[in-house]
Amino acid sequence: MKILRVSAIWCPACIIMRPIYEEIANKYEFETSELDYDFDEEEVSKLDIGKKLPVAIIYDDNDNELTRICGEKKQKEIEEIIEGLK
């Protein structure tokens, strides 16, 4: 699986969630990438993410979107979502 995160430098929840997503990516050996809501505006607009940040989009190995996680979450919640996708 892969995780694409959309965040912004001015977003407190994004700052809080960054190390959590990094730990999850390491634990599950996910490929990760990140887009900035403001600086990568053209790419972000194609994703139709809305206004709530951060957004983590989880893809399978064939680049099919499996789910989106929006806003601030506990690491345990995110891991439960990931386990449910396996």
- What does the pLDDT average to over 73-85? 95
**Domains identified in the chain, total number:** 1
DSSP string covering 56-83? EEEE-TTS-EEEEEES---HHHHHHHHH
pLDDT tens sequence across 29-63: 999 999 999 999 999 999 999 889 999 999 999 99
- What does the pLDDT average to over 58-78? 95
Report yes or no: 40 and 5 within 8 Å, Cβ to Cβ.
no
In the predicted structure, residue 75 carries a pLDDT above the cut 90: yes
CATH number at residue 44: 3.40.30.10
Mean per-residue pLDDT over the chain, rounded: 94
Domain extent, residue 25, equals 2-85
In the predicted structure, residue 86 carries a pLDDT above the cut 90: no
pLDDT tens sequence across 22-37: 999 999 999 999 999 9
